[in-house]
Amino acid sequence: MKTDLVTHPVTKDSLIAELRKLGVSGNQIIEVHCRLSSFDYVIGGASTVVDALLEIAEDGGTILMPTHVAGNSEPSGWSKPAVTPSLYQEMRAALPAFDPKSSYIYGMGAVAENFRQRPGVIISSHPNVSYAAWGRYAKLLCNRQSLHFPLSEESPCARLYELKGSVLLLGSDFDTCTCMHLAEYRSDCRPICISAAKIKNEDGDEWKKYLDLKINNEAFMKIKKKMQEKKMIKESELGGCHIQFFSAAKAVDEATKYFEKTVVYDLYR
């Protein structure tokens, strides 16, 4: 949070009021991405943001957040930081296996970390791209995420699409919108790759390989521009934070159309 001089502090009540103005209501299924630092100052920090979201959703709504464990992945594919090849095997052996509540969710933010620790939150089982959900449809969203192609049809992304859910971006932007990766799988626009992560099983920790696509979010900001032109995004600002609210299905459909027209991998068709 920006704290040089607090002039417009955000409270739980002011955040709830602003979200309701945008059309956020208690019976919706919403994928939330939040960059807490985009607010000038939130009284109570991440806890306040999560409290506001849960209060809005307490009468039949559902909140979904990605809780990806980027560090539980194949070291040879790392770039920030890159790993020298001689250390690959040592890194694989030292990496801790996926744990839904304690694995380090690097880059997911304080709000996602606070959210996944709340009572009643369901966390999906994927060791690299897990999700956390709370509310009426939490189990439906998270219970059956496939190990292979984990953001495809057997994923919280696809369930969010089918249930006509929405996306709420609090200071984040379209390049963080995880559900839009579903469009990459549906449009057959990315090459297949082999990924890996460490999991726990009855015999101990295991380094597990799985199939995936080389997903890429670079085009998502172009999708945003197209959706803005079609007035598909509701936008506002609170305490220095830019807020965006839109249909997940419409975003995925727009992205799918874009990829089908602009990206072709003949080798994989």
Q: Which domain holds residue 43?
A: 12-68+101-186+217-268
With respect to residue 201, please indicate whether it lies within any of the assigned structural domains.
no
What 3-state class would DSSP assign to 167? strand
Other beta carbons within 10 Å of 116? 24
Q: What pLDDT is stored for residue 266 in this prediction?
A: 46
Residue 176 falls inside a structural domain? yes
204 belongs to a structural domain: no
Q: Which helix (H) or strand (E) holds 223?
A: helix 220-229
- C-alpha–C-alpha distance, residues 6 and 228, integer Å: 31
- The whole-number pLDDT of residue 267 equals 43
CA distances from 251 to 10, 59, 140, 164 (A): 29, 26, 21, 11
- Confidence (pLDDT) at 264: 62
Q: Is residue 93 a part of any domain in this protein? A: no
Is 141 within 8 Å of 106 (Cβ atoms)? Answer: no
Total domains present in the chain:
1
Residue 76 lies in a domain: no
pLDDT along the chain (269 residues), means of 10: 82 97 95 97 97 95 97 88 91 93 94 97 96 97 95 96 97 96 93 94 90 93 96 96 98 95 61
200 within a domain of the structure (yes/no): no
Residue 265: what pLDDT?
54
Q: Tell me, yes or no, whether 132 lies in a domain.
A: yes
Q: Is residue 45 one of the residues assigned to a domain? A: yes
Longest dimension (CA), the chain: 56
pLDDT score for 116: 97
pTM passes above 0.85:
yes
